[in-house]
Amino acid sequence: MQEHDSLFIAGGWAAPSTDRRIEVICPYTEEPIARVAAAAPPDVDRAVAAARRAFDEGPWPRLDP
C-alpha cells in the first residue's frame, strides 16, 4: 500500500497540521490502495488561500474563455 505523508498546497508538498491519515479505497476492488495525510481545517484554510492567490494574481482571470 502506498503511503503519502504530505499535502499538495500552493504548487508544492506541505506538511499537514496533524498526523492523522485516511485510507484511499479502490472503487473497483473496494480494497485499500493508499494511506494519505488527512487535511485538518488549518490545512484547508491554507489550500483555499493559495487557490485564491492563484486566481487573483495568476494568469487564470485574464485568459480568454
pLDDT of residue 65: 81
User: In terms of Cα–Cα distance, which of 1, 3, 32 is closest to 16?
Assistant: 3
Mean pLDDT across 57-62: 85
Q: Give the pLDDT confidence score for residue 61 in this predicted structure.
A: 79
| β strands within the chain, DSSP E | 2-4, 7-9, 12-14, 21-25, 32-37
Tell me the pLDDT tens digit for each residue of 5-51: 999 999 999 999 999 999 999 999 999 999 999 999 999 999 999 99
What is the number of residues in the chain?
A: 65
Q: How confident is the model at residue 7, as a pLDDT?
A: 97
Secondary structure class of 37 (helix, strand, coil) = strand
Instruction: Name the residue among 21, 18, 5, 7 with its Cα closest to residue 50.
Output: 7
Query: Given the C-alpha cell 487573483, which residue does it identify?
Result: 56
